[in-house]
Amino acid sequence: MVTNLIKGKFMKTFVELKKWFEMYPPESADGKGWKDFDRKCKKEFPIRYWLNETLIPNVWWPVSKFFNSIRNWIRFRFFERMHIINTKLKPEYYECDTILLHGMFSILVDFVEIEKAWMQAICVEKYKKPWYPFKRFRNKEWGLKYLEWEMTLTGEDQNPSQANAAEEITNLYNWWTIQRPTRMDPYDLMDDKLFPPDRNFIDMLSSERTVDQMQVCQQIDDLEKQYDDEDTEMLIRLIKLRGSLWT
Alpha-carbon distance of 145 to 147, in angstroms, equals 5
Does position 209 have pLDDT exceeding 80, yes or no? no
Alpha-carbon distance of 1 to 9, in angstroms, equals 12
Task: Tell me, yes or no, whether 59 lies in a domain.
Answer: no
Does position 129 have pLDDT exceeding 80, yes or no? no
Task: Tell me, yes or no, whether 112 lies in a domain.
Answer: yes
Alpha-carbon distance of 41 to 38, in angstroms, equals 5
Long-range pairs of 46-51 with CB within 8 A, sequence gap ≥ 24: 48/21, 48/23, 49/23, 51/21
- Taking alpha carbons only, the member of 141, 155, 114, 119 closest to residue 29 is 155
Torsion of CA 178, 179, 181, 186, to 10 degrees: 170
Q: The domain containing residue 170 runs over which residues? A: 89-186+220-247
Q: Which whole-number Å values give the CA distances from 71 to 10, 65, 67, 110, 175, in the listed order? A: 29, 10, 6, 22, 37
Q: What type of residue is 168?
A: E
Task: Tell me, yes or no, whether 44 lies in a domain.
Answer: no
Residue percentage of the chain with pLDDT more than 70: 87
**Greater model confidence, 5 or 11:** 11
Task: Tell me, yes or no, whether 68 lies in a domain.
Answer: no
Using left for φ > 0, alpha for ψ between -120 and 50, and beta otherwise, residue 103 falls in: alpha
Task: Tell me, yes or no, whether 147 lies in a domain.
Answer: yes
Number of domains in the chain: 1
Does position 151 have pLDDT exceeding 90, yes or no? yes
Quickly state the pLDDT bin for 240 (edges 50, 70, 90). very high
State the average pLDDT over residues 9-16.
76
* pLDDT averaged over every residue in the chain: 86
